[in-house]
């Protein structure tokens, strides 16, 4: 059996506004992953800028910050065997035009930066993002 790992997921404002929280979270649960922490909050621009700092020099950065701070988000810690890879597969490609039908982005997103969800891309990123949004534990 694979080692259990944790990952971070953010359901973005556009998905919250469209009432997709339950649908998105249920996809992780149906896969056999466990939601261990859950919160809803408004992301401050300063936190969003830290979260997306790796995109700071890109032309789409201001629009990304505007989109993520446009309304409340749902923050989740998802746990299970190979959780990072499973969550990334469930959410689909970053660009909704490349996301396959059946993935969260393939089914619900239409354009960037409104791609419904963010998920950690590796173990170190997951630890950093969980700490950023839920605190050290």
Give catalytic residues, as residue numbers.
118
Q: Residue 69 in contact with residue 78, Cβ under 8 Å?
A: no
Q: Can you name the residues that pair with 11 across neighbouring β-strands?
A: 74, 117
Q: At residue 4, what are phi and psi to the nearest 5 degrees?
A: -75, 135
Buried-exposed string 38-51: b where 16+ CB fall within 10 A, e elsewhere: eeeeebeeebbbeb
Q: Which residue, among 14, 5, 26, 10, has the nearest Cα to 133 in the 3D structure?
A: 10
Distance between CA 9 and CA 99 in Å, rounded?
Answer: 17
């Amino acid at each position: 059996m694979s080692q259990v790992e944790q990952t971070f997921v953010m359901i973005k404002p556009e998905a919250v506004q469209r009432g997709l929280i339950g649908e998105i979270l249920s996809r992780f649960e149906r896969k056999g992953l466990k939601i261990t922490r859950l919160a809803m909050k408004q992301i401050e621009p300063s936190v969003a800028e830290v979260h997306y700092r790796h995109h700071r020099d890109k032309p789409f950065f201001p629009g990304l910050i505007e989109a993520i701070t446009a309304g409340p988000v749902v923050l989740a810690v998802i746990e299970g065997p190979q959780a990072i890879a499973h969550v990334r597969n469930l959410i689909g490609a970053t660009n909704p035009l490349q996301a396959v039908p059946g993935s969260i982005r393939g089914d619900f997103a239409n354009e960037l930066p409104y791609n419904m969800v963010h998920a950690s891309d590796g173990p170190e990123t997951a630890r950093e993002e969980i700490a950023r949004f839920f605190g050290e534990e």
